[in-house]
Amino acid sequence: MIGQVVVDGVTNGAMIGLGAIGLTLTYSLLRFANFAHGEFITWGAYLALLLTGALGTVLGGAPIGDLTFGWTLLAALALAMALTGALAVALDTLLFRRLRRQGTEIALVIASFGASLALRSAVEFIFSLQPLYYSHDIAMAVRLAPGMQATEDQLVLFGVALVLMLGMHLLMRHTALGRAMRAASENPLLARLVGIDVAAVVRGTWYLGGALAAAAGVFLGATVQLRPTMGFDLLLPLFAAAVLGGIGSVPGAMAGGLIIGLAEAAAVPLAGAQYRAAVSFLVLLAVLLLRPAGLFGKAD
């Protein structure tokens, strides 16, 4: 049973990590907790749904091997990531950037809460509350070891998630953009003085965060289901993962996501599946009590 907990925890943890990266980056760069981040997950998933429908007529929707999805979903994933990144940038340009200029920090948090409600309710309005699926095929399970199994879908998407997270980590560490993002996070004024276009960095951060969230959404939608609250329900685990990992740290968000994923999976046999989200809250409280800076964060 422990083995299955590990499998479930790791696969879920990868998804939470993907979502938490964008959250931790915008939190660190812009100094506010974006409650609308979950909606990038939701919109990414639903956009991919629309795109699979549209692309299916063009590319044919044949699944690959034993997976429930095929190239159509993967293409839709790429497009949904691009579109959701643009959505994130648009939200910042239309709403958050203007509020930043006016200088009221509380307005940002409330506005993000309001934007979250609006975006979520828009999905409800368009798609209704009914759960939806990318495919109604049965997912083939693969036995990894005695007592440990995962579906092929999960394994492939987990691989995709790993590649994305690794790519993001490399970007932060070894590219000029990554250096610029870290400098701008630490000291935006000084970053401008060393020639960094901080406005462009802000847009880039939103774009990447939104795109990764969309990937998390497709992952969730493909392995579980699509619901209008899917992203919002992940907000608490995402915040917990970001805080646990240390605000602003991409490896931290990944590690935090993994730990939260494992903790939630471990809680299921102990407390029942309904209390999963409460686990994140307990982890969050523990982190704030013991080490508020998180695993990879600097002490404030």
Pick the closer one to other proteins by CB: 224 or 288. Answer: 288
Pick the closer one to other proteins by CB: 100 or 169. Answer: 100
In whole angstroms, how close is the CB of 45 to other proteins at the nearest point? 17
Pick the closer one to other proteins by CB: 72 or 116. Answer: 116
15: exposed, middle or buried (C-beta count within 10 Å: 0-12, 13-18, 19+)? buried
In whole angstroms, how close is the CB of 5 to other proteins at the nearest point? 20
Measure CA 166 to chain center.
14
In whole angstroms, how close is the CB of 276 to other proteins at the nearest point? 9
In whole angstroms, how close is the CB of 20 to other proteins at the nearest point? 13
Pick the closer one to other proteins by CB: 130 or 163. Answer: 130
149 DSSP β-pair partners: 143
Pick the closer one to other proteins by CB: 55 or 99. Answer: 99
In whole angstroms, how close is the CB of 51 to other proteins at the nearest point? 23
Residue with tokens 């812009």: 30
CA distances from 128 to 16, 122, 215, 223 (A): 25, 9, 22, 20
CA pair distance 120, 90, nearest whole angstrom: 16
- Both tokens of 289, joined, read 């009590």
257 touches 273 (CB < 8 A): no
